[in-house]
Structure 1
Amino acid sequence: MTRRILCPASEASATARQVPRKPGFTSISRASYSSSSSSSSSISDEEVVDIPEVFNSRETLEFCGLNSEVSALIFDSWERLQQTPGELGYGNDIITEAKHFVRAMGEREDAWLPEHDWRRALVGMGATQRLCDAILDSAFAHLRKTQSASYWVLDTIDISWEFLEGLDKRIRKKRDETRDLVTPSPSIQPGLLGTYRGPSVLRTATIDAVPSSVEGRTMLFKGGAMAGLVSVFNDDGSLNLARLWSRNPTDFHRCKDVLLYFTKHVDVAEIYADYTMRRVSPEEGVVLHFAVPSELLEDHREIFDPEWQQLVFWSRGPASFDRLSVPPHLTQFTDAPLLIGCIYGMPNKAVARLDRSSDLTGQYMKTRNGGNATQYVFQTEAIQIQLQNQCRGWVWYQSMRYARDFAMRFLPPDEA
């Protein structure tokens, strides 16, 4: 069950020199895995990140935002489970035990309304003071209130674990790119959309800025953690949009977990990316920019009140046997290839305590200018396949940590 975070080669190239190690941790250079280009001055080898040496350890739980006492408690419980083959939990990674602990403590006391004691609930789940401060950062208050305290702790654990799982690959990829990078001549001018018509060895194009508009295409966005979002790119530059499916329940479906949610507001995607980075400081918050063929968006339905209220209430409201199927009058929306509607702005636990759908009036997530945030939901397999195929080479990823005017994209085969 002992798996190291980094292979020896990656650790050798990433380890920060002359930095004292904490027991159970390795100090690595942030530059060793950053998406920032090798020629960028936005990051230096002096920026250091402490990562646990092995996955199933107390140190990993602390990295995920749990305090030392709770981390020791969970580790001891996990270790006991590994002594007995066949025991429930035997063979699981320690993250499973950690999330079980957080859920159990969240059942005792959680927070989801502004008047609740969020800090006390977070502390009860084992969150460190640093994680409490990050979740409760007033700059993200509007986003935080869309979910419960337990959700944000569990989400932080997931992002942290996913970061660790992908770190070795990121270090090797960055090392190979730095070694093999061919810099275009200054005389080579960027072509369409900033794509260099230069050396064919470049599979990833570095772009000064993502275009705000593309003729014949509509820009849609998704923000979050680098490890999760950039995994949408296959090694050959093609897309695997299944990696972006949202877990149920979502705003517009109670059961389906094969739906693709995007927003048309870049500022909404950016705040999701920034909040990820605020809670998991070693990770990069990223925004994916999709230039979607506008004709692909023509076959859509828009949903407004009162149907919007009824669909959200069915999707996120109280559980019961008579709520397993979509209400017949709402299937026109759930069967649509593309559904467009406002983003709901309150957590599931709040909806579950409402008596009727009309109580949802006005509970929308807002953009920075105070308008209602809108989401585009690709619901059918056919339109998702079209989106996946027609957006190849038309998706940028932009790191929020280093420079909002720096972006990269994978080139389609005819440009690589």
Structure 2
Amino acid sequence: MNPSFNFLTLSPDSPLPAIDRSTTFHPLWPNTVALISYETLVYVGLSEAKATELWSRWINWPTQGPRRETDPDDGGLVVTFKDFIIGSFENQVDAADDNDQQWQACLNGSGIAVDVQNAIMDPRFKYLRLSQSCLYWVIDTVKMRYAGLEDIQRSSRERDMQLRRIATHSGGNQGGSGNQGGSGNQGGTSQGQRSVSGFQQQYTPGIGPDIWGSASASGHTVLFKALDQGRIAGLFDEAGTLDRISTLLSSPPSDFSGTRSLFYFTPNHQVAVYHASYATRRANCESIVIICLRIPNAAIESLSASDIQRVYWPSNEWKELIWRCRTMNSLPLYLRKYRNAILVIGTISRKPHSVYHAMNSWQEVTERCLLRLGPPGHESPTVQYVFSGEDEGRQFLIENGARNIKVFPYPQSELETWLAANSSPD
């Protein structure tokens, strides 16, 4: 059972308690963990044995080769701690087929802690899990937890600055204000590590106090995207105003681009909830959020015929576009209209990149490559709205809804509700 902590008794500069490796390791409150540490290796999901191995390698760094980020700058290549962790999975045999034994071998070989293995392998998320490979989810989980740790520590620094300002204005008496700050628990449980997500949300500009709920708006197309909060750091400035929309970009290769980053959203809130639930299941104590964007229908309708493209299953163009983008093959002239468009609306694909690379041509793309959701026996293909990552796409989003973007916490309680409604494995 995770211990409970009090916000106000901790400081970003608090010394780390000694670790007794002869006992079961309980993840520490992130505010007390030095980011580059053995504790972080365990926090992001590695087993104690794997963490011990990697920490030994880090502190016994060879004199030759690239320097660590903690070493003096010599103008050469540098290895960050996060990249060092992710690089440890480089030679691990991946798993992508519907074979739990292969997945288990991959997780064991990667040195993933048992509780994190159980989260990734939760049978209630099997359908979504098989949309990517084992190493994809391993790396995604590590990145999510590492980004969350960075963001929680940033939130802690912001909390401390707020308390200092309060103390200054009140003549040093923090009294009730301090207690109020410590009770912030939007979207988290009242005790234990899960309350950290509420703390993270409370001290992040732009994150709404209300928990997730599907939204609708007359005359608008409502779009959603599920993300962990740590990896959208910088989306809002200190006043809670949109600052860097680029944090919402998805890296290639992806459904509609093999080489460029694009903005992916879905009009289907079930898709967002599904992804948010799986992220929450795999998180340590990070905040998971659902982004809600409302775009006027008139703005979409005002796009020229060349600026908006639609491509759906089972058209051959959808099959070839997906196959070529996922395998990073060049697009023939008749498919370049999708690359040049501001907005592409189309069916969401499924399956890891390796599945598409194993195909000899786009003609092998079948219905199993679709992401389908809905009541059992009535599942239907899902749809995505994909905006160009170039200036035209960014400007369209900023001018037509992104300035009023909403970010809703998706707390542990929502995951429990989802699990109760989806008690049968996928």
Aligned 1:47-58 pairs, distance under 5 A:
50-51=29-30, 53-58=33-38
Aligned partner of 2:19 in structure 1 is 23
Relative distance call for 1:220 and 1:98 in structure 2 (3 A) is same
- Normalising by structure 1, we get a TM-score of 0.74
Q: Do residues 399 (structure 1) and 372 (structure 2) align?
A: no
Q: Is the aligned partner of 1:247 residue 2:232?
A: no
**Partner-residue secondary structure (3-state), 1:104:** coil
Task: Give 3-state SS (helix, strand or coil) of 2:372's partner.
Answer: coil
Q: Contact 1:56/1:93 (CA < 8 Å) preserved in 2?
A: no
**Aligned ranges 1:29-40 → 2 under 5 Å:** none
Alignment counterpart, residue 60 of structure 2, candidates 80, 83, 88: 80
Alignment deviations for residues 281-322 of structure 1 (CA, whole Å, 9 cap, x no partner): 3112211111122223223210132111111111112x6xxx
Moved more, 50-59 or 327-336: 50-59
* Pick aligned residue for 1:383 from 386, 393, 400: 393
Cα distance in 2, alignment partners of residues 351 and 267 from structure 1 = 26
Distance in 2 (alpha carbons) for counterparts of 1:282 and 1:163:
8
Residue number in structure 2 paired with 1:39: none
Letter paired with 1:377 = V
Q: Which one of the candidate residues 55, 68, 85 is aligned to 1:90?
A: 68
C-alpha deviation, 1:95, in angstroms: 2.0
> Offset at 1:357?
0.7
Shift of 1:237: 2.9
Is 1:333 matched up with 2:318? no
User: Which one of the candidate residues 99, 103, 109 is aligned to 1:115?
Assistant: 99
Q: Which residue of 2 aligns with 1:45?
A: none
**Runs of 5+ in structure 2 lacking a partner?**
1-6, 22-26, 70-78, 164-175, 182-204, 416-426
How far apart, CA to CA, are the structure 1 residues paired with 2:230 and 2:401?
20
Indicate the SS of the match to 2:360: coil
Distance change in 2, residues 1:159/1:205 (3 Å):
closer
Contact 2:253–2:325, Cα closer than 8 Å, also in 1: yes
CA distance in 2, matches of 1:368, 1:14: 46
1:376 counterpart SS class: strand
Matches of 1:60 and 1:334, distance apart in 2: 40
Match of 2:294 in 1: 291
Describe the SS at the equivalent of 2:246.
helix
Letter paired with 2:19: P
Match of 1:100 in 2: 87
SS at match of 2:225: strand
Alpha-carbon distance in structure 1 between the residues aligned to 2:8 and 2:20: 14
Indicate the residue corresponding to 1:356 in structure 2.
361
- Give the distance between the partners of 2:17 and 2:45, measured in 1 at CA: 19
Of 107, 112, 119, which residue of structure 2 is paired with 1:134? 119
Question: Match for residue 372 of structure 1?
Answer: 381
Task: State which of 269, 280, 296 in structure 1 corresponds to 2:272.
Answer: 269
Q: How does 1:137-286 map to 2 (within 5 A)?
A: 137-173=122-158, 176=162, 179=177, 206-207=209-210, 212-229=215-232, 231-239=234-242, 240-257=244-261, 259-286=262-289
Tell me which amino acid in the other structure corresponds to 1:341: G
Aligned to 2:194: none
Aligned counterparts of 1:218 and 1:65: Cα–Cα separation in 2: 38
**Structure 1 residue 169, shift from structure 2 partner:** 2.3
Give the partner amino acid of 1:294: N
1:279 CA displacement? 1.0
CA 336–267 in structure 1, closer or farther in 2 if over 3 Å, else same:
same
Counterparts of 1:249 and 1:277, CA distance in 2: 24
User: How far apart, in 2, do the equivalents of 1:385 and 1:207 lie?
Assistant: 28
CA distance, structure 2, for counterparts of residue 272 and residue 95 of structure 1? 23
Q: What is the CA–CA distance in structure 2 between the aligned matches of 1:124 and 1:209, rounded to whole Å?
A: 36
For residues 266 and 300 of structure 2, the distance between their equivalents in structure 1, rounded to whole angstroms, comes to: 13
Contact 1:229 1:286 in 2 (8 A): no
Tell me by how many angstroms 1:78 deviates: 2.2
Shift of 1:248: 0.9
State the one-letter code of the partner of 2:358. R
What is the CA RMSD across the aligned residues, in angstroms?
A: 3.1
Tell me how far apart the structure 1 counterparts of residues 298 and 56 of structure 2 sit (CA, whole Å).
Answer: 56
What corresponds to 1:43 in structure 2? none
Cα shift at 1:94: 2.3
C-alpha distance in structure 2 between counterparts of 1:374 and 1:136, whole Å: 26
Secondary structure of the equivalent of 2:36?
Answer: coil
Percent identity for Structure 1 against Structure 2: 23
For the residues of structure 2 that align with 1:247 and 1:204, how far apart are their CA atoms?
Answer: 24
Instruction: Tell me which of 30, 40, 51 is aligned to 1:71.
Output: 51
2:173 alignment counterpart:
none
> Cα 1:403–1:214, aligned 2, differ >3 Å: closer, same or farther?
farther
CA deviation after TM superposition for structure 1 residue 100, in Å: 0.9
